[in-house]
Structure 1
Amino acid sequence: MLEVLGLDHGQEAAYFALLDGSALGLDELVGRTGLEADILKGALTRLEDGGLVSRLTGEPARWTVLPPEHAIEVLLLARERDIRRVRALTQWLGEKHRKGRIGQDAAALIEVITGPEAVARCGQQLFAGAEREVRGIDAPPYAQAGDGSSVNSSANMASRGVRSRFIYGRDNLTLPGTIGRIERDMAYGEEVRILPRAPMKIIMADGQAGLIPLVATPQVLDSCILVRPSALLDALSALFETLWQQAQPYVPDGLGAAVAGEDGPTEDERRILSLLALGLSDDAIARQLGIGLRTVQRRVQALLVRLGAGSRFQAGVLAADRGWWRPTPRPRSQAPGERV
């Protein structure tokens, strides 16, 4: 259990034997742990050096545990420092390796990844390795990990303070479950904008790597190109930022600061308004809500009647006038990678 902190079996056994607060001698620890005295002597010395136990004065020697909440916290901080140093070393080694390969072969700037498992693993590594920001244009098909789960790490990135920005094509919103997935990711802090059509599929991490399909419009995502720092990656980054400025911010529920009250929209009307504002057809709305097309048509018509609107456009204007629909204003222009 404590091996993650660098404790071996002997140290862990001795530590747990002392946890009840007793001050124990070597013979007592041998009896409790079943370990040989020589092994316990070395384990106790290392535990004492690590600040986990203290040797009491007097003879025979006896040891007691120091408050775990403080002692283990010190070990955790030390291990975190070690991890940061190893991560920095890994980046340095990777950069040195890339520079060496570039000098020998320009093809080192890109790598073709083949096979669904390899593509999923590469995508997971991009998400897991990002330290500042992940950007992407989301479009099907999606890579599947070995356990069948999609490559998706919004919660994990949020816990690490990594910014996440994704663009979706409006046509992708018609796929069942897409809007629910978007709003779950947004709950973890993902920023989402919508374009009429997603021109391509891409994931970029920290401006250090990008992943794009090998085929422009694949039916199955079984091959990709991994792009390393280069003019090509710079161009992909610039394309994303241009599209990000052009895209419409996605507003969950489409309510913004909508007025609540007895005469406000029902929950069904709220969902329909938010989907209508995204430009979805009745058929697409039916798929998202999991109801029949005729049911959607009846509800849309009832909404128009309630608003006194003769068209969908007029319904949007009247809904905004009543406070039913107030889209979030477009945020100010941001530099690539800027944190808010």
Structure 2
Amino acid sequence: MELDVVGLSDETQLVYTALVGLPRSTASEIADACGMHVSAVGRLLAALVRDGLATRAAGRPPRFTAAAPDVAVSELIQERERRLDAARSLVQQLAEKHREAHRISDPNIAVELLTGHEDISTAVHRLTDAARQQIRAFDRPPYIERPGSNLEIQRRRQRTGVAHRVLYDRAAVAWPGRFADDILPSIRAGEQARVLTELPLKLVIADDRWAVIPFSLAPGGHSAAYLIHRSPILTALEALFEAEWERATPLRDTRPPTPATTPGSPDADTLALLGLLASGCTDAAIARVQGWSQRTTQRRIHRLMTELGAATRFQAAAQAARRGWLR
């Protein structure tokens, strides 16, 4: 029966169900309703009282009343969930102990092969959901899932104190709609973001416990991936991330620092253009992201550099930062 998942036997469920419909009943009355021997029903009623599923009124013979199911059974379900959580925690501890015990004799256990987009996606979600301190990532095309599809999940993680540091390949910033619809909202939610012209691979590191990298950088190589457990390989990947992070350029929030009506404040298109210039995007990439023609893009860049009194794009970004247009 349905309530066996919370530890109630079939006979106990039968007696409790009858008691729900027959408040203030004696053991004999419940036995008649269930077609059971009165002594067996008496034992089951005593167990229901002990577990908080029924109450017993004094008198001869004693009468029993079922506790409200939405309260009593819900408490049993919550208790079972607490025990399951404790069991999961113990399994995780034992699994980690098992891996550590076998790692010296079998170093291959530090690496697991994941095959298929669904398995890779599931593993990445599982590891990032389990992170308690920080998530570090190299973000570059191609993508298994639509970029930005996990934005709300990331925001929830960040609200619980999990830091996100993401290093974007320039091609990721130039991905149509990515900069305005995903990267900037992530930065505004607390993500630390930087950009490099080119990243060596895709990478996700959860805390200092796991990492996922593609099986191959060749076309089609992202249909398989390696799950890296705590090991010298993971230490090397962490060092790679930190080294690339140090030489990358920060991506800025391009919201107006003051109300948009303030004289001299740049409009939204200008701010977006500044952010893309600061990230090192080419004219073609900026045109693709903003939906402009290349001629319009070049004209806007020239007008912006003139307004800022800049001879190079680097100077334009520096002048914009000095004016408070880039955060």
TM-score, normalised on structure 1? 0.71
Structure 1 stretches lacking a partner, 5+ long: 328-340
Change (3 A) 1:99 1:54: same
The structural deviation recorded for 1:222 is 0.8
- Rounded to whole Å, the distance in 2 between the matches of 1:270 and 1:297 is 15
Partner Cα separation in structure 1 for residue 96 and residue 142 of structure 2:
31
Counterpart of 1:62 in structure 2 is 65
* Identical positions, percent: 31
2:293 alignment counterpart = 292
Residue pair 1:143, 1:151 contacting (<8 A) in 2 also: no
Structure 2 segments unaligned to the other structure (5+ residues): none
- Trace 1:256-295 onto structure 2 (pairs within 5 A): 257=257, 261-295=262-296
Matches within 5 A, 1:227-266: 227-253=228-254, 257=257, 261-266=262-267
| Residues 211-253 of structure 1: per-residue CA shift (max 9 Å, x gap) | 1112135445111122222111111112222323333332221
Larger radius of gyration: 2
Separation of aligned partners in 1, 2:48 and 2:159? 32
Going from structure 1 to structure 2, the CA distance change for 1:318 and 1:110 (only over 3 Å counts) comes to closer
Asked whether 1:202 is paired with 2:199, we answer no
Q: In structure 2, do the counterparts of structure 1 residues 191 and 40 end up closer, same or farther at CA, with 3 Å as the change threshold?
A: farther
Give the Å deviation of 1:204.
Answer: 1.6
Please report how far the alpha carbon of residue 52 of structure 1 lies from its aligned counterpart in structure 2 after TM superposition: 6.6
8 A Cα contact 2:54 2:65, kept in partner: no
2:192 maps to 1:158: no
CA 1:41–1:165: 2 relative to 1, 3 Å? farther
- Label 1:321 to 1:100 Cα distance change in 2 as closer, same or farther (>3 A): closer
| Cα separation, 1, equivalents of 2:289 and 2:49 | 61
Tell me, yes or no, if the aligned pair for 2:148 and 2:178 is still in contact at 8 Å. no
Structure-2-length-normalised TM-score? 0.73
- Asked if the contact 1:55–1:63 (Cα under 8 Å) also holds between the matched residues in 2, the reply is no
Q: What secondary structure does 2:212 align onto?
A: strand
Aligned CA distance change for structure 1 residues 45 and 297 (closer, same or farther; 3 Å)? farther
Cα deviation code 1:244-288 (max 9, x no counterpart)? 333333222165x46851321112212112222222222211222
Report how many aligned residue pairs link the two structures.
Answer: 311
C-alpha change, 1:51 and 1:155, in structure 2 (3 Å) is farther
Question: What does 1:18-29 align with in structure 2 at a 5 Å threshold?
Answer: 24-26=23-25
Query: Quick one: distance in 2 between partners of 1:304 and 1:126?
Result: 44
The root-mean-square deviation of aligned C-alpha atoms, in Å, is 4.3
Q: 1:317 deviation in Å? A: 4.2
- Secondary structure at the aligned position of 1:61 is classed as strand
The amino acid across from 1:286 in the alignment is A
1:49 Cα deviation after fit = 4.7
Consecutive aligned runs of 4 or more in structure 1 exceeding 6 Å deviation = 7-11, 37-47, 148-152
Cα pair distance change 1:115/1:303, threshold 3 Å: same
